[in-house]
Amino acid sequence: MLISLNWLSDYVDCSLSTESIAEGLTMAGLEVEAISVRHPQLKNVVTARIEAVEPHPNADRLKICLVRAHARGGELLRIVCGAPNARAGVVAPLALPGAELSGGVVREAKVRGEVSGGMLCSRKELGLGEDHGGIWILSAETAVGVALDEALGIRDVLMEIGITPNRGDCLSFMGIAREVAALCKTAARYPASAVEESGPPIDSLTSVTIEDAQGCPRYGARLICGVKVGPSPDWLKDRVEAVGVRSINNIVDVTNYVMMELGQPLHAFDFNRLREKRIVVRTARAGERFTTLDSVEREPGEGTVMICDGVGPVAIGGVMGGLNSEIAPDTCDVLLESAYFNPVSIRRTSRALGLKTEASYRFERGTDPDGVPRALDRAAELMRRVGGGRVAAGRIDVLPHPIAASEVELRCERVNRLLGTSLACDEMKEYLESIEMRVEKTAPGLLRVRVPGFRSDITREVDLAEELARLSGYDRIPVTSPLASVHAADCDPRQMVRARAKELLIGAGFFEVINYSFIASDALGKLRYSDTDTVPAPIRVKNPLSDEQGVMRTTLMPGLLDNARHNIDHRSENFKIFELSKVFLPAGQGPGAEEIQHLAGIMAGNRSPLALYGEAEVDFADVKGVVEQICAFLRTEELRFRAESLPPWLEPSASASVYVSGQRVGELGSVHRDVLQACDVKRPLLAFRLDFDGLLDLRGPVPLYRGVPKFPPVPRDLALIAEERIPVEEPLEFIRSLKEPLVESVEIFDIFKSEQIGAGKKSIGYRFTYRAADRSLTDEEVNTVHGQLIAKVTARFGVSLR
């Protein structure tokens, strides 16, 4: 809401500075978002009298004006001017050096060899009109040497105030005036609403019937006959333009003026274009079509409140008038509408039609049903004055059911407890009365508050509590500590594990990324998923900003691949990134989706952060190590990697699925080259993905302490020459499955191929650690057991002992 302080001063006297008013309004919940000068270009523009005119020595068309720009005394300024009407004795606007006009900044400059100390201006040059015929000759009585805006009485300050949806009453000068009045501890002044009536009573000329009392609980009308439609007088034009409304003509401007003034939207019909000269308020019929003022044919839809004449619609109630009854240059008689519409109904209509107007904006926020007649009278009188018509006697005011003012009981003690304040009951009464509430003390500590019609947002005690907090000042509410019982905040173990898993990855050199939850509609295609794949189709967003954000992600990979592309393109080629966040699977539990946590990461480039320690690139073992580390952290059991059931975005020859306790929990490996190409990634990538929620369910229990071994370990090695196709883990698994009690651990310490071993073979070195809990093992004892194990391994795998 744009507020002109000049205009506002019609309704309230407040001696506070502009800054204090702005601060006060902001702290009362009406945030002043900006303060500006109405005509910033008039800074450094003053009134000046041309005392004498001399010819310019070097140019025939120019002259030198000797100008007085001081009230009294001072030197005459020499101003070069070419306007034919610049002559001695006239008063005109003078832009002094530094004035910022639309044409540029005025400077002292030489014009054809003569110094000019400023510029005499036309209306157009000042942005105050279109006239460019010469300099603007001001009235001869105009004081000389004063700021032009002050001399013209158009000096003004504008405040942009953010109005929250609950404060529809503040969408007017009167509403803001009431708040300023409360701030200044004074009373707001309502504009006079006496109407000079003449002519026959309105009832004899027209009628109003409300058929839809639900949508339109009150409808008032007045008739102004014999008006002359034309441009608005300057004062009216200036005011509506000050708050950013385009001036149309005197009649329409009055309706806008009064709406801005009182917050009551009005509509003016050309009375003679109303068929049967009457108004009927009813709901729209199915399929009914109607052309609004903006020349758009619309179908309002059933239930819409329509203002009709004796035959058909002439306006969409509370939203916009119709082309068929608009004020035209030849309009002579005006039927003025002032009504109260149901806010919900207006909002539905406005939304359904996609049509938002100053009127609908106010009606859907709730206007003052009691304010209907005041606005009607005010506008009728103004139309009479600026349009020269006669106002028919009386007004029509149809009100099928009385609209009760809301009455609220207020328990002073309860409000103080809610706010933490200690306001006296009488103090509360005073505060509420300062915003025009009628307050009655009905019992000790009990107030009965009658809420004025314009505050439709106040219906409950708690609403009054807010008013009291606001009016007495939020800053005066004491800062206290709640009294609460001591209890430890429960902690969801899943959140904790997620946080710790992130820390673990960071320690492994990974940077966390956060990507949007939506992905492109074709993102799965880029991952080489085809329609025949049994992956669930992602959930669609009905109204996405773009196709790039068309669906909810079912995988974290598209985001990560895009991050990889971005970073490689920006020459960050060595990186490890991960995201631990939700994906959205259709159906399942949850309101719209099953939302589960996935963990996925990408690695690229050098393993070591420093080239000094080698520039080897990360490989499969690195990405596998990350997954192993996470599983070790979670104490999962039976971690296996198998090159099967791979998703299409992985390179089949260099990837594996991850199994924990027999359950598939994810995959890892090299990203498929076609995927890299489709995603425009210019370097090879390694990636992993884990169903983190699933993995959490498989995590091991808190370990129980077992004694630290007291006796020394005995190491033994085994070197197997095995078929190359045999996974190194297979013999290991076998050894473990034998469950030899003396074997504490077995690990692989060496894998190599050579000509000596022969083609298609590899040598695998296994290191056994033997230990007994109750004694030191002897060499003989270990040798026996080790020998037996070797025999079993060779028998099982048919491999030879080196």
Partner 1 sequence: MKEAVENLLETACRALSELGEDSKALDLARVRFLGRKGELAQLFKELGKVSEQERREAGRLLNEAKARLETLFSEALEKRRELDSAGRQAIDVSVPGRRAPLGRLHPISQTAAEICRIFNWLGFETVEGPEIELDYYNFEALNIPRDHPARDMQDTFYISEDVVLRTHTSPLQVRTMEKRKPPVRVIAPGRTYRRDSDVTHTPMFHQVEGLMVGKEISFGDLKGILTTFVHQMFGKGVALRFRPSFFPFTEPSAEVDIECVMCRGKGCRVCKSTGWLEILGSGMVDPEVYKYVDYDPEEITGFAFGMGIERIAMLKFGIDDLRLFFENDLRFLRQF
Considering only residues 335 through 394, tell me which ones interact with partner 1, judged by CB under 8 A.
343-344, 347-348, 364-365
Query: How far is residue 558's CA from residue 583's CA, in Å, rounded to a whole number?
Result: 12
Nearer to partner 1 (CB atom), residue 541 or residue 732: 541
Contact pick of 194, 404, 443, 489 for partner 1 (by CB under 8 A): 489
Among 482, 662, 701, 703, binds partner 1 (CB under 8 A): 482
Which member of 286, 479, 704, 795 binds partner 1 (CB under 8 A)? 479
String of contacts with partner 1 for each residue 598-627, x by CB under 8 A: ----------xxx-xx--------------
Q: Which of residues 552-571 bind partner 1 (CB under 8 A)?
A: 552, 563, 566-567, 570
User: Cβ closer to partner 1: 191 or 544?
Assistant: 544
Q: What is the DSSP letter of 311?
A: S
Among 104, 354, 444, 478, binds partner 1 (CB under 8 A): 478
Residues in the chain: 802
- One symbol per residue from 30 to 49: x for binding partner 1 (CB under 8 A), - otherwise; what is it? -x------------------
Q: How far is residue 407 from each of residues 184, 404, 458, measured CA to CA in Å?
A: 26, 9, 9
Q: For residue 737, state whether it binds partner 1 (rule: CB under 8 A).
A: no
In the bound complex, what is the minimum distance in angstroms from residue 644's beta carbon to partner 1?
Answer: 31
Closer to partner 1 at the Cβ: 194 or 483? 483
Measure CA 86 to chain center: 54
Report CA dihedral (99, 102, 107, 111) to the nearest 10 degrees. Answer: -140
Which residues in 157-186 contact partner 1 (CB under 8 A)?
164-167
Asked if 566 and 573 touch (Cβ cutoff 8 Å), the reply is no
Please state whether beta strands 575-586 and 511-512 pair in parallel, antiparallel, or not at all (unpaired).
parallel
The nearer residue to partner 1, 351 or 673, going by C-beta atoms, is 351
Task: Confirm if 468 and 423 have CB atoms less than 8 A apart.
Answer: yes
By C-beta, is 130 or 492 nearer to partner 1? Answer: 492
For 85, the 3-state DSSP assignment is coil
Per rule CB under 8 A, is residue 292 in the interface with partner 1?
no
Considering beta carbons, is residue 311 or 514 the nearer one to partner 1?
A: 514
Sole window of 40-48, 204-212, 534-542, 706-714 interacting with partner 1 (rule: CB under 8 A): 534-542
- Write the binding mask 212 to 251 for partner 1: x where contact by CB under 8 A, - elsewhere: ----------------------------------------
Q: Give least dist CB 494 to partner 1, A.
A: 9
Among 512, 638, 723, 747, binds partner 1 (CB under 8 A): 512
Asked if 509 contacts 453 with a C-beta cutoff of 8 angstroms, the reply is: no
What token pair was written down for 728?
A: 């190194």
Count, in order, helices (H) and strands (E) of the chain.
Answer: 20, 41
Of 91 and 593, the one with the shorter C-beta distance to partner 1 is 593
**How big is the site for partner 1, counted in residues (CB under 8 A)?**
93
CB burial of residue 680 (10 Å; 0-12, 13-18, 19+)? middle
761 forms beta bridges with 723
CA distance 380 to 191: 13
> Rounded to an integer, what distance in angstroms lies between the CA atom of residue 78 and that of residue 86?
13
List, as one string, the DSSP characters of 147-191.
BHHHHHT---EEEEEE--TT-GGGSSHHHHHHHHHHHHTS---PP
Nearer to partner 1, 540 or 635 (CB): 540
Among positions 106-165, residues that touch partner 1 (CB under 8 A) are: 164-165
Rounded to whole angstroms, how far apart are CA atoms 386 and 393? 18
Among 483, 702, 704, 795, binds partner 1 (CB under 8 A): 483
Are the beta carbons of 271 and 335 closer than 8 angstroms? yes
Choice between 286 and 612, CB closer to partner 1: 612
Nearer to partner 1 by C-beta: 297 or 490? 490
Binding segment for partner 1 (CB under 8 A), chosen from 237-245, 254-262, 388-396, 417-425, is 417-425
CA distances from 406 to 102, 372, 451 (A): 52, 17, 5
The angle formed by the CA atoms of residues 376, 380 and 382, to the nearest 5 degrees, is: 120
Query: What is the rounded distance in angstroms from the CA atom of residue 743 to the CA atom of residue 205?
Result: 111
| Complete edge-to-edge strand list for the sheet that includes strand 761-770 | 743-752, 761-770, 714-723, 800-801
Stretch that binds partner 1, among 91-99, 204-212, 243-251, 460-468 (CB under 8 A): 460-468
User: Please, which residue, 528 or 683, has the CB nearer to partner 1?
Assistant: 683
Task: Report, in Å, the least distance between residue 684 CB and partner 1.
Answer: 18
Burial 428-450 (b: 16+ CB within 10 A, else e): bbebbebbbbebeeeeeeebebe
- Of 151 and 181, which has the nearer Cβ to partner 1? 181
Q: Any contact of residue 465 with partner 1 (CB under 8 A)?
A: yes
| Shortest distance in whole angstroms from residue 444 CB to partner 1 | 20
